[in-house]
Structure 1
Amino acid sequence: MRRPVLRSTLVAAVAAASALGVLGTTPASANTTDGYVSGGGDFTNDWDDEGVLSVNSYGSSNATCMWQLILVAEGLLASEQIDGEFEVATYQATKEWQMRYLGADYANGIVGQETFGRADDNLVNSTFGKTGAPYWYEGEQGVVRVWRGNDGRYHFSDAGIDRIAGYDYRTCS
């Protein structure tokens, strides 16, 4: 038995709630053209729309350095290999990370939207979503301290030095 009145009432209620902002909206997107790993809204999906990291794309950057720290936390890269250069060891470790979390179909060694998007599932916020508060990327072998600044840009700690995860420059060592 069809209930067209109920269906139209539901559609109207959803439309009204959406217009009032009652329903969850898509979080503010990170602007991949601003040169930084960034986000807004709920931190658990900040990285879903990030740029690509690979041997050929932003392969020498602080964004790559942050990714390497994630690979270290997973036990897939040695800490002495953190240099912000996306080379063979980072490529292989990325493929292993992808096999672990995404499966063989995504194990291409390129950090794209699927990989970045899955990585932010491992972010834990120690202060319940406050901007500028520390988050932790929890890997199988350790944690990486990362945080989103008031400007939406992600920061990370590399050898005790706070850095910003930028695509167009490399200051990590």
Structure 2
Amino acid sequence: MNATLETPAEAVDRARAAAARVTDPEMPMLTLVDLGVLRDVTIEDGHVVTTITPTYSGCPAMATMRDDLQRELADAGFPDAEVRVSLSPAWSSDWITEEGRAALSGAGISPPGQAPARQGPVALTLMPTRRAIVCTLCGSDNVTLSSEFGPTACKAMYQCRDCLEPFEHVKEI
């Protein structure tokens, strides 16, 4: 369809479909929609504006997400699209869709549980975070934390005590 003949609502739908094809560079089984990072797609002053929220402050993948989103929108016929980054409200792992959680599990990565409810300052603790998770390979809950720091800031490393396989877990935030 010729972009000049489409309504603003049709343009938003087309831009949203393009944005939904962009994947997380650190977890490519997830789209920005699955991850809950894509917050909004609108038309402002005749051009597309998308809003994304980082999963973590200083997330190194944000620049790539923004660039990939800009490129996908340009390829879809929106060369002047703008990508905005919104820090408020802060992203929560609760924003990961059910499809995203299933994709993580299918890739052998333990999806996050419910994010902790917080009010006020975050308490500092030096003890490992307790999580109710199961091995992504055998389903056992007999797992141990190997490292709170996984291959990316948003993941921790666990090992199953039954099948001995290591696996990643997306942290709850």
TM-score (norm 1): 0.24
* Bigger strand share: 2
TM-score (norm 2): 0.24
* Bigger helix share: 1
